[in-house]
Amino acid sequence: MPAAISVTRRSGETLAAAMKRCPFCCGDIPTEARKCRECGEWVVGTSGGLAAAGLRLLGVIWAGVTVMAALGLWYVGQGVRRWAWMHAVDQQITPQLVDLALYTLIAVVVLKGLMLSVGLGIMARLSPRRPRWWT
């Protein structure tokens, strides 16, 4: 926060107009101002609100779920790979083929999951910012 500077207007007459400088456009604005009248920027702490916080949290949780799903798929895939190898279901189904299918599946799950997480984060950023009611 910039140091509040009091401006003395006219000779000797100190108005109750304590001014501060907008950190965005360097215009002088009243100390009590929460939004700059010159450039329209908030000059107090802002928050996207509860909805944005919820979306962001959901994005983080979803990223965690995605990682867990990928690990689970990998674990199950190892079982399938071993089983297909031991039981020789089909000569065409080699461990390499199972691996290829498994890693493709995991890549798709991870990419889609992360896309949704990033999307949720972007949506959270889109919500309009308002002055925080907490400090």
DSSP structural state of residue 2: P
In contact, 52 and 117? CB cutoff 8 Å: no
Tell me the two tokens of residue 58: 């959901």
Residue 110 to residues 16, 57, 66, 69, 96: CA-CA distances in angstroms?
59, 18, 6, 8, 21
Q: Does 25 bind Zn ion (CB under 5 A)?
A: yes
Instruction: Mark residues 112-131: x for contact with Zn ion by CB under 5 A, - for none.
Output: --------------------
Q: Does 22 bind Zn ion (CB under 5 A)?
A: yes
Applying the rule CB under 5 A, the residues between 36 and 55 that interact with Zn ion are: 36, 38-39
CB of 36 to Zn ion, least distance (A): 3
The residues of the shown chain that bind Zn ion, judged by CB under 5 A, are: 22, 24-25, 27, 36, 38-39
